[in-house]
Amino acid sequence: MKRPNYSRAWPESWKLSHHYDQMELYGASPRSGYAHGYRVRAKHTLDCFERFVPLGSRVLDVAAGQGNFTLNLAERGYDVTWNDLRSDLAEYVEAKRERGSVHYLPGNVLELSRDRPFDAVLLGEVIEHVAHPDRFLESVATLVRPGGTIVLSTPNGAYVRNKLPRFSDCPDPSIFESVQFKPDGDGHIFLLYADELRTFARNAGLELRELKFYGNPLTNGYLKLGRVLPLLPEWWVEGVERVTQRLPAVLSRKVNAALVAVLRRVA
């Protein structure tokens, strides 16, 4: 992946994307909670692709932003289509592309053509931004061929410090429609619980093949642990992450702030 030369003449969306790239790709504040949390999410997400999606598969990366997962998957041998509401970011992503097959399909994912379904779809930190996550997953499922895969990562609603509402408890989710689809990680509406995700998947004709919780407070720099994180050896932090992932399910979903799920379209 290339590193573009920063320019003051860039549009603001490029500058903001470059700001995140500094932390996610280029080592700015590498011991921060944000950088640690991103690396853990990337590790689990890409691992799911390697285990469940054959190389060469056609992949749609939804709300892909600055395209780091798009480019990473392309470099690994997938045929990836980048999608985002912000069409101007396509040129920024292309400026970083070094190798691999990447196509660009900006626009609202709910309005994309279903004429040629993909082998796999990546929903990376997307579903928590929509007012109707159940309908959203049903729509995305139609973008995947039967037998195809959806890899979904999202903050974990059951995390002990979560203060956002549970979707199942909201009598009228439509009140959030005016604030959905905010870019750059802003505007979380609901954080999903494992039981809700299973229900959404079943209603969308999807089979839940794997569900993993990850990202403890130390890894993410939560509970003011971000001040401690830079002082600890990397191997020790990674060891704590592995331990918290292996906790019994009832504890793991309380301790870990995020989840990744692998869904297979069966209908």
pLDDT given for residue 150 in this prediction = 98
Question: Which pLDDT tens digit goes with each residue over 88-136?
Answer: 999 999 999 999 999 999 999 999 989 999 999 999 999 999 999 999 9
116 backbone φψ class: left, alpha, beta (φ>0; ψ -120 to 50): beta
pLDDT given for residue 37 in this prediction = 87
- % of the chain at pLDDT higher than 90: 69
Question: Measured between alpha carbons, how far is 42 from 69 in angstroms, rounded to an integer?
Answer: 8
Of the CA atoms within 13 Å of residue 62, those in its CB half-sphere come to: 28
Query: For the structural domain made of 12-265, what CATH number should be given?
Result: 3.40.50.150
Task: Count CB-CB contacts under 10 A for residue 133.
Answer: 23
pLDDT given for residue 34 in this prediction = 84
Strand partners, 120: 59, 149
pLDDT given for residue 185 in this prediction = 55
Structural tokens at position 201:
């998947």
The pTM assigned to this predicted structure is: 0.93
Tell which residue, 247, 185, 160, 237, has the closest CA to residue 212. Answer: 247
Question: Measured between alpha carbons, how far is 138 from 143 in angstroms, rounded to an integer?
Answer: 9
Residue 152: which residues within 8 A CB-CB, separation 6 or more? 123, 124, 126, 127, 197, 260, 261, 262, 263
Question: Which pLDDT tens digit goes with each residue over 10-45?
Answer: 999 999 999 999 988 887 777 778 888 899 999 999
Question: Measured between alpha carbons, how far is 166 from 180 in angstroms, rounded to an integer?
Answer: 16
Residue 249: which residues within 8 A CB-CB, separation 6 or more? none
pLDDT given for residue 54 in this prediction = 97
Average pLDDT over residues 214-224: 82
Ordered by start, the domain boundaries in the chain are 12-265
Of 201 and 234, which is predicted with more confidence? 201
- Residue 223's pLDDT band (boundaries 50, 70, 90)? confident
Question: Is residue 58 scored above 70 in pLDDT?
Answer: yes
pLDDT given for residue 186 in this prediction = 60
